[in-house]
Structure 1
């Protein structure tokens, strides 16, 4: 088992065209950054240029990859894309306008985080993906890693590294382009 602390700089992608109007973006792959989103990505890149990262990972969704591209220009690091860092997929609810959403009851015996709303992913599913990602990081030789991701995925990542299980996610959403610094000791078990 790898020894030593791993430091992460978690970045939420810049504002995307899909974020306009408050739509449920979720698993939509293609919305690109707006002009404002590109400015936010460049600001994050300037901040991270002096952090001293040795790896740059990104969700493979366009909005995250474009943000990571700006960071790569400033840091000189290659972007490693992975589907493990994607936003939570909400199935048929992805792309929905806020006014079109209808409240649904949580099925008996389940926590809201255990339901695959819209036929997409549950928070439990997102945690499972993030644990696989952390396992890949442990297998590597990097200790300061930039991770470019998304809002709900970011809340799950922050909460998981803090030792909080899926029922205790801190839903403190990151702003577009915001950078949050985290650390994790690989020997510490990640919660489910």
Structure 2
């Protein structure tokens, strides 16, 4: 019987404790706070000013964060296209130099260097053109377009087997557009 009565005491204690908790909640919820509902006319102007300043600061902070985000997107877009230009134009120039060396040496394998030179020029032009976005500033966009146009023109000159004077002019223009674009790219870092 000792086991049963200890169990009964525990259950009875839990019931009494539960009832006391319910009573405490009921008594606590019935208290009334003093005062009256109404606007505190003396503090209202200070509150309105505080809220106005807070909203203004929040808007300025939000605007600054958006400006920083836009600048970051622009910088990333410029760097992506600059990297595309740098790597693809280096490959194109190497291929063109191999073609020029074969041409100047009047070697029988000149046709073996012509195709790769044309392909690498067109590949670079297409890659740069595809990587240009609206986020890039106009001056840099124009420099990229000049490279694209120059690379395509040089590829056409190689395919057309233009004379040495015209070919040298085309190469010089290509080198100038590349130098200009890469200089503008360097300024973005």
Same fold, TM-score > 0.5, yes or no: no
Larger radius of gyration: 2
Higher relative strand content: 1
Higher relative helix content: 2
What is the TM-score with the length of structure 1 in the denominator? Answer: 0.28
- Give the number of the structure with larger relative contact order, counting CA–CA contacts within 8 Å between residues 6 or more apart: 1
